[in-house]
Amino acid sequence: MQLDPRVLKDWQIAEAAEAHMKPIAQVAREMGLHDDEFIPYGRNLGRIDYLKTLSRVEKAPQGKYIDVTAITPTPLGEGKTTTTLGLVQGLGKLGKRVVGAIRQPSAGPTFNIKGSAAGGGLAQCIPMTPFSIRLTGDIDSITNAHNLCMVALTARIQHEHNYDDARLAKLGLKRLDIDPNRLEIKWAIDFCAQALRKITIGQGDKMDGFEMESGFQISVSSELMAILAVARDLKDMRERIGRMVVAQSRSGRDITTADLQVDGAMAAWMVDTINPNLVQTIEGQPVLVHAGPFANIAIGQNSIIADRIGTRLSEYLVTESGFAADIGFEKFWNLKCRFSGLVPSAVVIVATVRALKMHGGGPAVKPGAPLDEAYTKEHIGLVEKGCENLIAHIETVKKSGVRPVVCINKFYTDTPSEVARIKQIAEAHGAYCAQSDHWLKGGEGAIELAEAVMTAAAEKNDFHFLYDLKTPLRERIERIAKEVYGADGVTYTDVALAKAKRYEADPEAAKLGTCMVKTHLSLSHDPSLKGRPRGWMLPIRDILAYKGAGFIVPVAGDIKLMPGTGSNPAFRNIDVDVNTGRVTGMF
C-alpha cells in the first residue's frame, strides 16, 4: 500500500487503510482473546469483557510496560499518539507481540484545533471516524451520568428550598442543607464551549428550579472519567462513584452522590464503560482505547484495566500519558502506577525539532497560521537552546528511577545536523535517543526507536515515587513544583490555603493522591514562558477534592475546566459524502 502522508491527509490515509483492515474479531483472536471475551460492535469495533479476560489472564507473565510522554508541546501537538502507534507498529515489525493502549479522544479538540487523536501519517489507528467521534459511547455515558448527578443535585436544592422538613420526611428525605454557592461540579458537555463556562440557571418561578450561578465543564474533565481510568473493577468503580463529593452543606459537610441517592443510577449509566474498547493500527496490531485525555485538567491516562489486560496478553504494552512529562508522566508515575501496582519498563520522551526551536526562542507557533520559515530551515542555535526544555523532562523521568528513551519524532523538513545535535545532548544527559520516521514510513520507520526501547526495557530500573502518601499535601505540592516544574516555591490564595489546611487535617483526605491542574504549554503555570523558566513561584488558586477518584486537585494559574473554541476550528473541514455516507476532512 503506497501512501505518502506528504501528499495525502490523515483521513485519506485512514480511508485507504480501512479498505484492507482485518475484521476486529480476527484482531481479538490474534491478541489472545477467547471468543466469549470479545464483544463485537459491528465489523470494525469491539469491547473486551474485562471480567472474563482478567480472571483468566491475571496470573499470566507480565509483558514489558512502556509509557510514552513528551517535551512541552507547541499548540499544534508534537505527535505523542502518533509515536505511540508508530512504536507499536515498529515492535510489530520486529516480530514482537505488542498491544497499544491509548485514550479516547474528546469531541472538544477533535472538532476544534487539535483534531483527532488517532495518530497521523502512516502511524494511525483505524477505523478513524468512529474512533474520533463516537467509538462505543463511553464519553456519552460519562456525560449522561455526570448530568444526572447535576439533575439530582439541583432538584434537591429546589425541593429543600420549597418544602419544610415534614414534607421532606414524607418523601423519605432528610434535609441536606446544601449550600448553592458551594457546588463542587458543573454541568458537562463534550465540546469546547467557552460561552457556557458561567451561566445562571433556575430563572422563572419556584417550579423552574432554584436560581443560582452555574456553568459547564468539558465531559472528559468529569471526575467520572478519572474514576474510569483508575478503577480496578466494576465493584471498585461503583464504590468510587458513591464517594464523589458534589457540594458542601452550609455547615461545611461534604455532600456525596450517595447522599443524593443517585450513585446507583449513575453507575447504571456507566456499567458498559468498564469494558475497554478494541481497534487496530493501520498495520493490524491491537489497540485498547479506554478513558480520556486532558492531563492538564484531569488525570489524562488510559485505564488501569486496559493496562492490566494488555500487559498480560503481550510481550510489550505501549501506553501514553497526556501532554508532557511534567504533567502526564508525573501523574502516570505518582498516581496511576501507585493505584495499579504496575511498574514501567521504559519511558519514551517524544521531542520534535519544531518544538525545540520554539523553546529556543523561535517565533510563536499559532494554530491555523503558517509556520515561520525558522521551523522549516536549519537553525542549530534554536535547537540547542530549546534542548533546555528536553533536559528538564529527561531529569524528571530519571527521578522516577527509569532511564528515558528520547524519540526524535522526525519531520521531513528536519535536517541531519539538527537531529544529530539533539542526540548528542540527550545522550550526554543520560538518555537513550533514537530518531523515528513512523509518520512517513510507518512501522519500518520506527525500528530504530523500537530497538532502543527494547534495550531500555531489558535494563533493571529503580522505580520509586516522588512522595509517599504520608507526605502532607502542601509538602507534596512544593515537591512537584520544585522538582518537576522547576519553581522556586509555591504561593496560595486565601481560599486555596484554607482548603489545604482542611484537607491536611482530614485523615481520609490525607491519604488521597495529588492530581495537579496546570497549563500544558509551559513547565510553569504561565503558557507564555517557554524553554526552562527560572526564578518563578507556582500560584495555587484553588484546591478541589475528587474523593471518588482518590485525588486532591490543586489548581495552578488560570487554567479552566472548559476550553474554548478557536477561530479556525476543525469542524469547518468536516463533511459527509451524501452518496456513500463517508465522513471526509477529519484530521
Considering the candidates 226, 291, 295, 570, report the single residue annotated as catalytic: 295
Q: Label residue 144 exposed, middle or buried (CB < 10 Å: 0-12, 13-18, 19+).
A: middle
Residue type for 353, please?
A: V
Considering the candidates 333, 439, 551, 587, report the single residue annotated as catalytic: 439
Cβ 287 vs Cβ 71: under 8 Å: no
Considering the candidates 82, 143, 281, 352, report the single residue annotated as catalytic: 82
Q: Label residue 41 exposed, middle or buried (CB < 10 Å: 0-12, 13-18, 19+).
A: middle
Q: CA 451, CA 58: separation in Å to the nearest integer?
A: 28
Considering the candidates 47, 64, 103, 499, report the single residue annotated as catalytic: 103
| Closest to 354 (Cα-Cα) out of 585, 69, 64, 70 | 70
Considering the candidates 64, 114, 243, 441, report the single residue annotated as catalytic: 114
Cβ 487 vs Cβ 536: under 8 Å: yes
Three-state DSSP class for residue 166 = helix
Answer left, alpha or beta for residue 582, where phi above 0 means left and psi between -120 and 50 means alpha.
Answer: beta
Q: CA 229, CA 188: separation in Å to the nearest integer?
A: 18
- CA angle 231/118/273 to nearest 5° reads 25
Q: Label residue 455 exposed, middle or buried (CB < 10 Å: 0-12, 13-18, 19+).
A: middle
Residue 210 CA neighbour count, 13 Å, CB half: 20
State the first-to-last Cα distance of the chain, in angstroms, to the nearest integer. 20
What DSSP designation does 35 have?
A: G
| Cell 501532554, located at residue | 323
**Alpha carbon distances (Å) from 296 to 9, 353, 439:** 28, 23, 26
Residue type for 411, please?
A: F
Considering the candidates 47, 64, 80, 186, report the single residue annotated as catalytic: 80
Considering the candidates 191, 323, 333, 339, report the single residue annotated as catalytic: 323
| Closest to 343 (Cα-Cα) out of 393, 402, 390 | 402
CB atoms within 10 A of CB 193: 16
Q: Is 107 a catalytic residue?
A: no
What DSSP designation does 194 have?
A: G
Q: Label residue 58 exposed, middle or buried (CB < 10 Å: 0-12, 13-18, 19+).
A: exposed
Residues in Cβ contact with 416 at an 8 Å cutoff, skipping those fewer than 6 apart: none
Considering the candidates 134, 175, 366, 411, report the single residue annotated as catalytic: 411
Q: CA 95, CA 101: separation in Å to the nearest integer?
A: 19
Q: Is 166 a catalytic residue?
A: no
Quote the crossing angle between the two packed helices 304-312 and 50-57, to the nearest 10°: 40
Residue type for 59, please?
A: K
Q: Is 323 a catalytic residue?
A: yes
Q: Is 536 a catalytic residue?
A: no
The whole-angstrom distance between residue 287's C-alpha and the CA centroid of its chain comes to 16
* Enzyme catalytic residues: 80, 82, 103, 114, 295, 323, 411, 439
